[in-house]
Amino acid sequence: MFIRNCWYVIAWDHEVPADGLFTRTVIGDPVLLFRRADGTIVALEDRCCHRHAPLSRGRKEGECVRCGYHGLKFDARGACIEAPGLDTLPAKARVRTYPVAVKNKWVFVWMGNPALAGTESLPDNFSCDHQDWNYLPGYLHYGTNYLLIADNLLDFSHLSYVHEKTLGGSTAIAQARPTIEKVPYGIRVTRRVPNVPPPGYYRRMGSFDGNLDRWFIYDFLLPGTLLMHSGGRPTGDAPGDMSRAVRLHSCQTLTPETESTTHYFFQQSHLVAQGDASIAQIIYDALVVAFHEDREMITAQARNIALDPQAPMVPLAMDAALAQFRRLVTEAIAAERTTAEATQATDPAPA
């Protein structure tokens, strides 16, 4: 089960071509994206209403798409406006449309009730499109349920072990106890790690002759977005002195493809004043190595779970953030179900 009344990232803006078709599955629904003449993005169900062939196997014609199987043509509203050999078309000859929002180079689709698609719940992914921040965009595909990946992101103690030689570098990260607080649509996790060696890629962003005080402060928001300020400054620098600090901002989001597969969009930005384009490449390369480490561990974990789904896990204190987030997901799904049942109960019976 998934939350439906929410915004999911379906693509980076650059992935959707100016004059072509793009498709990606979101929470089990195949979604087709294409652009109007003015560049705005349209989202249709990628399933022809006739014989259910993917519309993405067809072609874009102006601001319409033609099915590549039997030639039905659909406009940006999802209505079939032409079917070869037919003079009239049934009213049901249409495909579903989805609300779309583009914010700071992330393309979002709303998978639930279109009437509820307000943009106030869009995450503040500011560093994805800000003159002061630089990054390279990333994408990974996981063969696991998205909640296992969310668990990983909500407990950074794994940095000390999964990423011992990449992002982590010290068992002190696992020893540091995070604080957790509620924020709108999610939780905020703060972890401060004093007096630890800098990770390798930090050394390309500053000259450090000793240890750093590091920090990780992030909001983890429904349905699965991490927005994080992180960095480090030389241990012993005066309180508030950020002149030698490394400062980073990361935007990462999980979009379930199916119950067992996930889209993972990510970036980690550095301040433009703190390095040239080569730094963005160095950070990106470090992230890709580390995120492959995560994927290997989580995939192995998923295989073990699949062997005995009922085997109990022993909860530990380090699970506090992930337990709170999973509770929020469960509550959101239950609230949608209750609303749907109430709506069905009050709808008049068909004549």
Peptide bond into 223 cis (omega under 30): yes
Residue 343 counted as domain residue: no
Q: Is the pLDDT of residue 145 over 70?
A: yes
Q: Is the pLDDT of residue 40 over 90?
A: yes
Phi/psi at 286 (5° precision): -65, -40
**Pair (114, 147) in one structural domain:** no
**Pair (165, 41) in one structural domain:** no
* Residue 350's pLDDT band (cuts 50, 70, 90): low
Amino acid making up residue 39: G
Domain count, the chain: 2
**Pair (110, 163) in one structural domain:** no
The strand ranges marked E within 137-245 are 138-142, 179-183, 186-196, 212-221, 225-234
pLDDT score at 234:
93
Residue 193 counted as domain residue: yes
**Pair (132, 94) in one structural domain:** no
The overall average pLDDT reported for the chain is 93
pLDDT score at 348:
66
pLDDT score at 324:
97
Instruction: Quote the CA–CA distance of 21 and 32 in Å, as a whole number.
Output: 7
Give the orientation angle of helix 146-154 with respect to helix 277-307, to 10 degrees: 120
pLDDT score at 165:
73
Instruction: Quote the CA–CA distance of 144 and 109 in Å, as a whole number.
Output: 21
Any idea what the CATH number is for the domain that residue 236 is in? 3.90.380.10
**Pair (113, 149) in one structural domain:** no
Q: Is the pLDDT of residue 201 over 70?
A: yes
Q: Is the pLDDT of residue 115 over 80?
A: yes
Any idea what the CATH number is for the domain that residue 68 is in? 2.102.10.10
Mean pLDDT across the stretch 344-350? 67
Pairing between β-strand 7-12 and β-strand 106-110 as defined by DSSP bridges = antiparallel
pLDDT in tens, 153-178: 999 888 888 887 776 667 888 888 99
**What percentage of residues in the chain have a pLDDT greater than 90?**
81
| Structural domain containing residue 11 | 7-121
Instruction: Quote the CA–CA distance of 42 and 61 in Å, as a whole number.
Output: 13
**Pair (14, 101) in one structural domain:** yes
Amino acid making up residue 114: P
Higher pLDDT pick, 239 / 19: 19
pTM: 0.94
Phi/psi at 176 (5° precision): -70, 130
Q: Is the pLDDT of residue 211 over 70?
A: yes
Q: Say how many CA atoms lie within 13 Å of 283 toward its Cβ.
A: 27
In DSSP notation, 93-124 reads -B--EE-EEEETTEEEEE-S-GGG--GGGS--
pLDDT score at 52:
98
Mean pLDDT across the stretch 46-57? 98
